[in-house]
Amino acid sequence: MSATAVHSLWTTAGGVTSAAPGDKFTAPTIEYAQLAPVLIVVGAAVLGILVEAFVPRRARYTTQVLLTVVAIAAAFAAVVGLAADGYAGENANIAAMGAVAVDGPALFLQGTILLVSMVSVFTFAERRLDPASHGNRVDSFAAQAGSVPGSDGEKAAVKAGFTTTEVFPLALFSVAGMLVFPAANDLLTLFVALEVFSLPLYLLCAVARRKRLMSQEAAVKYFLLGAFSSAFLLFGIALLYGYAGTVSYAGIAHVVDGTVQQIDPALAGTMGNDALLLIGGAMLLMGLLFKVGAVPFHMWTPDVYQGAPTPVTGFMAAATKVAAFGALLRLLYVVLPGLTWDLRPVMWGVAIVTMLGGAIVAITQTDIKRLLAYSSIAHAGFILAGVIAASPEGVSSVLFYLGVYSFVTVGAFAVVTLVRDADGEATHLSKWAGLGRRSPLTAAVFAVFLLSFAGIPLTSGFSGKFAVFKAAADGGAGGLVVVGVVSSAIAAFFYVRVIVLMFFSEPKADGPTVAVPSPLTMTTIAVGVAVTLVLGLAPQYFLDLAGQAGVFVR
């Protein structure tokens, strides 16, 4: 066998078909303009690290907050610009040598992620809630993440007034990963994006100022289980590569359809082997279902939601879910549509246990953050019902639901940061008793969020739930709708229980106080309430937007 033959074998296996022997390396063509949202965020994150290195400590906070907010706003403007140029519709295409799709769902989800990140960053930057420590205003993050909890080093760091401003570039890296995740158009990009958004999140979970041990425990759990799920995902990618001889979504889809013409001689033994496809596809799904927190891959959710600093929990609960569901949608609609009938029973099962499991276990919770965690599991189940619909209508209903859910979630966790006692946030439910008497406005706002979670009409939660259930019923999943309404009824019980506690119970003498936040957190909460009411009363514009964004580029 000559050297040329070996070379061509390698290059064909790598998916590059035009490389003739003796060709020089050709630079890939990258459509920078179409990737602008991601590039802006990554660039700002890199700048943020330089800020940490070179800007004096006292100026860092302001610089980082400004940089982050401006970067996210610019990225959002870029997304809007791309959508205005028709990339969400007729001009949708695949950029960066087949790695990233720029189409309706991608742009819609990127826009949602950016807006949610923006309001989350406001809660990251909140410095009025914790009492000033040694004359310095502090936020929810540890003085020095590296110091051992309770050690002298920690005390010194607190006394010196250190703050962990690294959270802003970390959040930006995470956002960048999330932007790529639902747009990834080959499996390797998918995996890289997953790691890029997950690793900063593991770190962010560990840097709570209060209850640091719990926060670190949460981070370790999240990291271990996250690594486990990444391994599943990677293994699935390997098997699918063996099956299709390519990692590109379109290429795999062709092999699944049987429309591929040329069988790669090097992979002839495995290519088209359905066992590889089914096992690989299932492992890939497992990795993604872990990220969305679907039962039975949900074990990490309550612990991590409870332990992480609350602003991070809100960010993670909202934005991760948007990104992961985006990736799941693309995978099911672009790569594996040929498997719809094989996967349907499995997805049905997952959706049913997720809806029921989340709703039932939430009833027994006594901590507001854990309660919201289980509620997020139940919501993942509702969204899965829309995913299963397998129609453009299903896609747009899921997009709409994600937008609705993420704003309510960020708002709800922002309210949780306000209710405090001497030990920081008072997250035990018993401490919320009588909050409606003490701070009617805060309690009323939280009640609005809870009613939206419960899907009461005239709130955004109802519009979203109705959209996914309607799509599911249209798509022949009427059984899921029935399970969905039953679990909604169960879920209503624990949302209502919190409202009862806040409004109908007598306040306790040593109960928590509601801190008055700066305009930053107020904006977050106000945006959450506004979105909840607007999407509840007049959702048409946003349904149109999601409806136009319902088609994936292939």
Partner 1 sequence: MSFPLLTATAALPAIGAIATAAVPAARRTAAKWLALGVSLATLVLAGVVFARFEPGGDRYQLTESHAWIADFGVRYELGVDGIGVALLALTALLIPFVILAGWHDADPLETNSSRWRPTQGFFALILMVEAMVILSFVATDVFLFYILFEAMLIPMYFLIGGFGDRAHAGSDENAAAQRSYAAVKFLLYNLAGGLIMLAAVIGLYVVAGSFSLSEIAEARANGSLEMATSTERWLFLGFFFAFAVKAPLWPLHTWLPNAMGEATTPVAVLITAVVDKVGTFAMLRFCLQLFPEASKWATPVIIVLALISIVYGALLAVGQRDIKRLIAYASISHFGFIVLGIFAMTSQGQSGATLYMVNHGLSTAALMLVAGFLITRRGSRLIADYGGVQKVAPVLAGTFLIGGLATLSLPGLAPFVSEFLVLVGVFSAYPVAGIIATVGIVLAALYVLVLYQRTMTGPVREGIGGMPDLKVRELAVALPLIALLIFLGVFPKPVTDVVNPAVQHTMHDVQKKDPQPEVEAAK
Q: Give the nearest distance from C-beta 452 to partner 1 in angstroms.
A: 12
186 in helix, strand or coil?
strand
Q: Give the nearest distance from C-beta 103 to partner 1 in angstroms.
A: 20
Q: Give the nearest distance from C-beta 376 to partner 1 in angstroms.
A: 20
Q: How many CB atoms lie within 10 A of CB 90?
A: 7
Nearer to partner 1, 77 or 444 (CB): 444
502 in helix, strand or coil?
helix
Q: Give the nearest distance from C-beta 369 to partner 1 in angstroms.
A: 23
272 HSE (CA, 13 A, CB side): 14
Site for partner 1 (CB under 8 A): which residue of 171, 362, 456, 515?
456
* CA-based nearest residue to 183, from 93, 58, 66, 72: 93
Give residue 15's region: left, alpha or beta (phi > 0; psi -120 to 50).
left
Q: Give the nearest distance from C-beta 501 to partner 1 in angstroms.
A: 9
Binding piece for partner 1, criterion CB under 8 A, among 39-47, 104-112, 372-380, 541-549: 541-549
Taking a C-beta distance cutoff of 8 angstroms, is the pair 327, 288 a contact?
A: yes
Q: Give the nearest distance from C-beta 488 to partner 1 in angstroms.
A: 5
Binding piece for partner 1, criterion CB under 8 A, among 261-269, 286-294, 306-314, 450-458: 450-458
Residues 478-497 binding partner 1 (CB under 8 A) are 478, 481-482, 484-486, 488-489, 492-493, 496-497
Helix (H) or strand (E) holding 273: none
Taking a C-beta distance cutoff of 8 angstroms, is the pair 141, 424 a contact?
A: no
141 φ/ψ angles, rounded to the nearest 5 degrees: -110, 150
Dist CA 286 CA 296 (whole Å): 9
Taking a C-beta distance cutoff of 8 angstroms, is the pair 99, 31 a contact?
A: no
Q: Give the nearest distance from C-beta 478 to partner 1 in angstroms.
A: 7
Site for partner 1 (CB under 8 A): which residue of 421, 457, 513, 530?
457
Those residues with Cβ within 8 angstroms of residue 432's Cβ, 6 or more apart along the chain or in another chain: 368, 419, 426, 498, 501, 502, 512
Say whether residue 348 binds partner 1 (CB under 8 A).
no
Nearer to partner 1, 343 or 456 (CB): 456
| Number of residues lying near partner 1 (CB under 8 A) | 39
Residues 498-527 binding partner 1 (CB under 8 A) are 500, 503-506
Q: Which residue has the tokens 């041990």?
A: 213
Site for partner 1 (CB under 8 A): which residue of 67, 385, 498, 543?
543
Could you give the maximum distance between any two Cα atoms of the chain, in Å? Answer: 86
Q: Which residue has the tokens 């330089």?
A: 50
Q: Which residue has the tokens 């209508």?
A: 393
Site for partner 1 (CB under 8 A): which residue of 230, 371, 539, 549?
539
Site for partner 1 (CB under 8 A): which residue of 117, 185, 248, 463?
463
Contact set with partner 1 (CB under 8 A): 437, 440-441, 451, 454, 456-458, 462-463, 466-467, 469-470, 473-474, 478, 481-482, 484-486, 488-489, 492-493, 496-497, 500, 503-506, 538-540, 543-544, 547
